[in-house]
Structure 1
Amino acid sequence: MSKIETQHTRLQAPISADTQEEKLTPTAPLKPIWPPPPRPRKRRSILKMLSSLLAIILCALLMLSAIGLLLFTTTTHYGTSIRHTATVEAQQTSSVQTTARVQAQGTAQYFQTAQTQIEATATAEGNQSAIATQTVTDATATATAGENLYQTWTAGKPFIDDAMTDNSGSSKWDSGGPDTNTGCIFADNAYHAREAQLTYLQPCIGQGTNVAELAYQANVTLLKGKQGQAGLLFRVDSTNNSYYFFHIGSDGSYALDLYDGTNGGNTLLQGSSDSINPGFNQVNQLMILADKTNLSILANGHYLGTASDSNLQTGKIGVGVIDNGTPVDATFTNVQVWKYEENRLP
């Protein structure tokens, strides 16, 4: 038999449990120790304790620093806010005070300006009232003076009193012309002066007259002529073709002109007046008062004005018309002339 087989055959049978227990030896139980012995304490190192203490101190310092910083920041911000608020309020108060002062000054200035304007207005109105009163007074005085002049100059008998229905009187009025639309002619119980050439004047002269200081009056009626003029000539110098011409228009205008054969025309007075009857076929009584260099004009008994001129001292009387648009025709009746010397009041 081989060796392997011998080993197998030499295996012992298993020992039973009862047999094993019989061979175990019992162990005596342990008695508890009382009191128990003290446990050994673990010793900490001094360095570790110091580290912990230092950490606690640092934490405390950090907390205190944070609290202090917070308190400082809050206090500073609060103080700054209070100062800013106080500054703003002070500035606002100052601004309000300044505004109040400005408003007060503005109000005072306004009332001062208003008072000044009131005083200026009152002064201006007073001046205007005074000027208006003076103007009315002057106009009244002038009109009164004109009326007095008229009364003075016409108190006596006129040395020329001609109805102008024909040429039978001593004045020897011009008669004739180049055609029926231009010239001087007696027709229809009146003396006509006509002009058909634009801008031309047609004079009709009493060749038998010559007077220096005079009152000269006649009735003038414009029959036709757009913008035509008609009136009285006096102190006519036929040699030098010079004269004064007081004329009116159909629009109520008037003028006193000096015609100088050398220097041409010169207007001494002009204007318009409600005293003049406007339009055609309207009778207007015109009058001239020539006292040396003072030349006064009247219409329908109302004084219009006085001019001073010394160019012509004496001469003939006449009538005339001016064509300013269309052919003009006017009639002249009831010519009267007074000499100033004969009618001067004492």
Structure 2
Amino acid sequence: MFLTLIVLAVLVILSGIMLVFYTEVARPAQLRANATATMQSFTASTATANVYATGTAHVTATAHAKATTQAKATATAIQSVYANATSGSPAFGSSLAYQDDGNWDTYDAVGGGGCAFRDGALHSTIMKKSFYVPCFAKATDFDNFALETEVTIVKGDEGGVIFRGNDKTSKFYYFRIGRDGFYSLNVSKDDKNSTPLLYDTSSAIKKKAGDMNLLTVIARGKQIYLFINKQFVAGTTDGSYSAGEIGVFAGNNGNETDVAFSNVHVWSL
């Protein structure tokens, strides 16, 4: 009996040791197993995340490369549009050294300036701040075309070209560049109101007084493309006006402005 009790006591002690062993040793082992499983899970997740991130980066890089390629393709296509539109014989052309079949405006503006042929060019001059002086070619009427002319800001602020215009109602589009490096495309609604369609800076603009900039507008239906020194800068769609006169203008944003225009050409499309 005593021996039995001793054996039972030993078994209880051994059971306790086993329990303690399980409690004190197995748990860390279980935690280690859990930690290993967690680490494996984390590693797997990280690997998956890395694969996803790598895949995403690859997709993003591919998309960026594709977008860049498409942009280059678009720019190349538009440059081809420019090359094709300005090739061949123009429907209208003038050196603007003197009056011609375009029947260009010549007048004195209120407050000084106006439109006049001098020094081998058509000059638009404006002395009054926040005003502009348009010089229309009243005998012209173009719908789909490429219009190109040389623009030299002799002094002052800005100048540009007018197209699809009606000088009697002051309804027309105008594409301007400034010595501040900005360009814009606007729709004139009347003498006092206009709506901007495009407005931005361009490194293609030569900004020094006396620098010549070659401006080109290609208009076909509602599509309008703008070029400065043969470089595409912007395009948009607008159906406000479909045809009309061409012209040139100078604008005063705070400085007396004189702009000289030479060698205008229009190709019908």
The reply to whether TM is greater than 0.5 is yes
- 1:136–1:210 CA distance, 2 compared to 1 (3 A): same
Query: What is the deviation of 1:314?
Result: 0.8
Aligned length: 256
Q: Among residues 230, 239, 256, which one is paired with 1:310 in the alignment?
A: 239
TM-score normalized by the length of structure 2: 0.81
Change in 2 beyond 3 A, CA 1:100/1:241: same
Matched residue, 2:193: 264
Kindly provide the CA deviation profile for residues 96-121 of structure 1, in whole angstroms up to 9, marking residues without a partner as x: 33542453244234323432442333
Is residue 2:42 matched to residue 1:110?
yes
Q: Structure 2 stretches of 5 or more lacking a match?
A: 1-12
Q: Distance in 1 between matches of 2:221 and 2:25?
A: 83
How far 1:318 moved relative to its partner? Answer: 0.8
Counterpart contact for 1:251–1:279, Cα < 8 Å: no
Task: Give the deviation of 1:304 after TM superposition.
Answer: 2.5
* Structure-1-length-normalised TM-score: 0.64
Task: Flag the structure with larger Rg.
Answer: 1
Instruction: Report if aligned partners of 1:223, 1:331 keep a CA contact under 8 Å in 2.
Output: yes
- Structure 1 123/324 Cα, relative in aligned 2: closer, same or farther at 3 Å? farther
Q: 1:97 to 1:305 in 2, by over 3 A?
A: same
TM-superposition CA deviations, 1:39-68 (whole Å, max 9, x none): xxxxxxxxxxxxxxxxxxxxxxxxxxxxxx
Query: Is 1:210–2:141 an aligned residue pair?
Result: yes
What's the counterpart of residue 184 of structure 1?
Answer: 115
Q: 2: CA distance between counterparts of 1:116 and 1:251?
A: 52
Shift of 1:160: 2.1
User: Compared with structure 1, are the counterparts of its residues 196 and 104 closer, same or farther at alpha carbon in structure 2 (3 Å cutoff)?
Assistant: farther
What CA distance in whole angstroms lies between the structure 2 residues aligned with 1:253 and 1:128? 33
- Counterpart Cα distance in 1 of 2:46 and 2:95: 67
Query: Where has structure 1 moved over 4 Å in runs of 4 or more?
Result: 89-92
Q: Distance in 1 between matches of 2:229 and 2:179?
A: 15
- Provide the identity percentage: 24
- Give the counterpart of 1:332 among 230, 248, 261: 261
**Matched-pair contact (CA < 8 Å) for 1:143–1:302:** no
1:137 Cα deviation (Å)?
A: 2.2
Query: Is residue 109–residue 126 contact of structure 2 (8 Å, CA) maintained in 1?
Result: no
Q: More relative contact order in 1 or in 2 (CA 8 Å, sep 6+)?
A: 2
Structure 2 counterpart of 1:243: 172
Greater per-residue helix proportion: 1
**1:313 counterpart letter in structure 2:** S
Aligned-CA RMSD value: 2.9
- Structure 2 distance, partners of 1:260, 1:230, is 19
The 1:107/1:207 distance shift into structure 2, 3 A limit, reads same
In structure 2, the residue matched to 1:322 is 251
